[in-house]
Structure 1
Amino acid sequence: MKIRFDSGKERNPTQENGIHVLYAPGKRMAFRLRWYLILFLVASPLIWLVGNFVYGLVLIDAPAQLHLPIQEVRARDAGRVDRIFVTVGEQVHSQQPLLDLDNPEWRARLLQLAALPTQSLRADDASLVLKERQVLSARVGRAEQRVAQLQSLLQQGAATRGEVQAAQAERDGYRADLLAFERREQIARQSPDRIDRELIQQNTEQQWLKTRLQALSISTPETGRVAEVLVNPGENVGPGTLLMRLELQAEPLLWVYLEPRNISYAGIGRPLKVRMPDGEWRDAHVVQAVDSASRTPVVLRGPFAASEIGLQVAARFDQPLPARWRIDQLPLSVRFPSDWLRLLGLSH
């Protein structure tokens, strides 16, 4: 059998017994592109890792967080929040009133002291003194009866707790009047020297209480903005209770969490670029030497972070920050200019 390799079919593949035959276009290129795509998808994790490694050698990026200067306003004495003059977000000026506290116990004591005599008293008319005592005692008795009746009605559901408390407050006021009357009688029977000493102590206590009540009003120490109000009118607070937070007008501080291997970029005065949330880049510089390391906040960690511990580098913006970006704990990212001498191994 003789095989020929120069048949007419090879010379004219589209001719068959004199008839023109149309063939579909070749698909070799489509298959080749498909295999290239599969190869790229398989190798993409490795390409990403290698690209990240090279990127980290050339550019030093780090997470950062904006911290505004915060002034905490705390109560100096125990009291009750009487009035709040500001709201969250309001701009306040130095010495502007923020809120008023009140102390009902101190005011009740002032009323008792005011009811005491301011000079020596003599009980010449025993009948008038007796009548005054009877009237005061009768008031106290009627007030106690009303309190007992309201408490009974409260148990039956026919009265409110507010009515009971109002009746109790009225009864306590009548009791205070009766005690002040008895105190006046006691002073009237004392010797003149002791009366003078009692009056001096009384006046001293009155002045002390008035001074302390005036000191309960709280004003802002510096110009700023009200960031948070943590109390409501009518709420009781103790000494040292946090009442509100103020954002001061001072320039914010930028805390950069730098990997320990990049400590050479943390020198004072080192320039850096800060990427704002809208994509704008702003200039900044390091203002403080590194003196501590801490865990990078969870919101700032990347999915493949090399370490959870970062050097805390303090930086400030070269230009004042716009008001729209003055947001406490705003997450940002920074980029340090590449140190090419160190990258090439020429720096020691």
Structure 2
Amino acid sequence: MKVRFTSGKSRDPFQEKGVRIPYAPARRTFPRWRWYFVVLLVSSPLLFFIAKVSVGVFWATSPGVIFMEKTPINSPTSGVLMEVHLREGQHIALGDVMAKVADPTLEMKRAPLTAERKVLMDYASRHISTEPFRDALVLAERVLKEEKAYRSKIQELVNAGAATKADLNEAQKRVLRAESDVIKAKIDLNLALAPSGEYKSQQVRLAQIDGELAAMADIMGGVALVSPVSGVVLAVFAVVNQALAQGAPLAVVADPQTASIVTFLNPKDLGFVEKGKKVRIRFPEGTMVEAFPVGRPTLAEPAPSSLSKPLTEIRQTVRVTLSTRSPIPEAFLVEGLPVTVHWGGRWPW
């Protein structure tokens, strides 16, 4: 028996046992390139994922944001907000009026102070007069002068033998009594001129009240709140007719002149951070600028969730501050604007 390893049947699809089989032509021929396109379309997510992973493996990048120095503006006094001249995105200059705060309780506080001042003024007008003590001193000095003149006459009479030594001694005693009266009158006058402790304290209180009333008069129409810095208003927290406590937040102002880049770097790429090392910043619309790290990083923190990429976990990152070699374009001076920092290849090639 002869063994065959090939079939004796015809391999021609158009013949069967020597009989030709006609086939109808296909209605439409599907081009091969379309099949390739369908395969490419179906596999594009996988290809994109592979490309992203490859870039992440061989090229060091980190997310970042535009950061500006911010100044919180708080109310220096309590009261009701009468006017607000701020809106988000507004540019303000140092000294610009931001708002006006009025205290509706000032009139109630002013009334008792005014009444107390009137009482103190009435007491001061009734204070003991020093005129009688001055008159007593003048009279005592006049008596002393007359007694001294009388003693001089007695001395002349004694010298002439017309008066006795006893008369001269009596005249001397009268002079001493007059001198004593002058000294007493001076003491009484000094005591009258020196006000009592109560009077002094009332005068001090009167001065305090005058100062408080003057301060109230200055702010009766409201206190104008001026900006302590120049910059852009990022947020406004207060509205007209809102009651404010002292220290309540009014707004937040950012200074565009202090704009820098803050990026959150993977700790394994910390070796890229060298002072003065050139890096590239990519803005959302594709513009690239050069920057360099400002000193060594000193803070590790979780990356903000808003900067986290899909399929990545929020982990500890190193916060790095970058300064651009040229001013950041004005169109990108937006607080919190996301950017991408390109540090370079992880392995040289």
| Coarse TM-score class (shorter-chain normalised) | 0.5 to 0.7
Give the match for residue 285 of structure 2: 278
2:323 counterpart of 1:316 = yes
2:95 counterpart of 1:95 = yes
Give the match for residue 251 of structure 2: 244
Structure 1 residue 37 displacement after superposition: 4.9
Structure 1 residue 22 displacement after superposition: 6.0
Give the 3 Å change call, closer, same or farther, for CA 185–255 of structure 1 in structure 2. Answer: closer
2:261 counterpart of 1:254 = yes
Paired-residue identity, %:
15
2:122 counterpart of 1:188 = yes
2:104 counterpart of 1:104 = yes
Structure 1, 62-71 or 321-330: larger mean CA deviation: 321-330
Structure 1 residue 226 displacement after superposition: 2.1
* Amino acid in the other structure paired with 2:263: V
2:231 counterpart of 1:224 = yes
Larger radius of gyration: 2
Structure 1 residue 265 displacement after superposition: 1.1
Aligned residues: 268
Kindly report the root-mean-square deviation, in angstroms, between the aligned alpha carbons of the 2 structures. 4.3
Give the match for residue 77 of structure 2: 77
Question: Aligned partners of 1:244, 1:333: CA distance in 2, in Å?
Answer: 29
Question: Aligned partners of 1:286, 1:214: CA distance in 2, in Å?
Answer: 51
Task: Map 1:1-348 to 2 at 5 A.
Answer: 21=22, 37=39, 51-110=51-110, 113=113, 116=114, 180=115, 184=118, 188=122, 191-192=126-127, 194=199, 196-197=203-204, 199-210=206-217, 216-305=223-312, 308-338=315-345, 340=347, 343=348
Question: Aligned partners of 1:55, 1:15: CA distance in 2, in Å?
Answer: 58
Which ranges in structure 1 are unaligned for 5 or more consecutive residues? 117-179
Question: Aligned partners of 1:97, 1:218: CA distance in 2, in Å?
Answer: 6
What's the TM-score once normalised by structure 1's chain length?
A: 0.62
Question: Aligned partners of 1:186, 1:12: CA distance in 2, in Å?
Answer: 128
What's the TM-score once normalised by structure 2's chain length?
A: 0.62
Task: Name the SS of the counterpart of 1:203 in structure 2.
Answer: helix
Which ranges in structure 2 are unaligned for 5 or more consecutive residues? 128-194
Task: Name the SS of the counterpart of 1:337 in structure 2.
Answer: strand
Give the 3 Å change call, closer, same or farther, for CA 324–51 of structure 1 in structure 2. Answer: closer
Task: Name the SS of the counterpart of 2:312 in structure 1.
Answer: coil
Task: Name the SS of the counterpart of 1:225 in structure 2.
Answer: strand
